[in-house]
A = this chain, B = another copy of it.
Amino acid sequence: MKQEKAVILLSGGLDSATVLAQARADGFEAHALSFQYGQRHDAELRASERVAAALGAASHRLVRLDIGSLGGSALTDASLRVPEEAGEGIPVTYVPARNTVFLSVAMGWAEIMDARAIYIGVNAVDYSGYPDCRPAFIERFQALARVATRQGLEGRAPEIRTPLIDLPKAEIIRRGLALGVDYGLTVSCYQADQEGRACGRCDACRFRRQGFEQAGVEDPTVYQA
């Protein structure tokens, strides 16, 4: 039987690596898609290459989008500080419309390949409160996908799959380990250094470290001295 294709949004972090493993476990031929969008943490992109190779992606594309030049986020604007303490509301690391842009490009690639699913590792439990990580956002993007492309009009819109959306971080880690993910290959930190070592202090590091603690497994993250 012909294997169906799926597009996997792969940042090189913990969540997206888990999602790639899940897509493979679900039986898809997995095509990984990463973005260079002016983010500071370029170490993520090198991680995405390691992860795609280790988890058997059939292909891996890197698309450059210079949305960072529009400003508005500490992840793409070196003049803004990445916060190192928990705050209220949507933090300054939020990149406006990022997941909408990423899903849109994934939808275009899905149409070109006739892929039947798009996997995205959004999570609305141990997360930073970004609007485009919530179920309401995913549902409306799915509705859009049904009318936005030729594939959609033909009743073959890709299914937007969010296997992590309601899982606590510890659960995500347990699931990934069961699927064979080596989290030592992944980089989650918003301000990792050139070698991919994590700061241990930003939001992404805090959620990740807490996840390993709660899962009761060893944290393979390499932290800066």
Interface residues of A (CB under 8 A from B): 61, 63-67, 69-72, 90, 94-101, 104-105, 107-109, 111-112, 131-132, 134, 136-137, 140-141, 143-144, 146-150, 152-153
Copies in the complex: 2
Q: How far is the CA of A198 from the CA of B100 in the complex (A)?
A: 34
Contact A96-B112, Cβ < 8 Å, known A65-B65, A152-B131:
yes
Q: How far is the CA of A20 from the CA of B90 in the complex (A)?
A: 33
Decide: B104 and A101 in contact? CB cutoff 8 A. Answer: yes
- One of B65, B72, B141, B148 near A63 (C-beta < 8 A): B65
- Majority-rule SS of A interface residues: helix
Residues of B within 8 Å of A109, CB to CB, are 70, 96
CB distance from A31 to the nearest CB of B (A): 10
Residues of B within 8 Å of A144, CB to CB, are 100, 137, 140-141, 143-144
Decide: A112 and B71 in contact? CB cutoff 8 A. Answer: yes
Q: How far is the CA of A70 from the CA of B149 in the complex (A)?
A: 15
CB distance from A74 to the nearest CB of B (A): 13
Contact A132-B149, Cβ < 8 Å, known A64-B66, A144-B144:
yes
Q: How far is the CA of A150 from the CA of B137 in the complex (A)?
A: 12
Decide: B96 and A100 in contact? CB cutoff 8 A. Answer: no
Q: How far is the CA of A107 from the CA of B98 in the complex (A)?
A: 10
CB distance from A88 to the nearest CB of B (A): 13
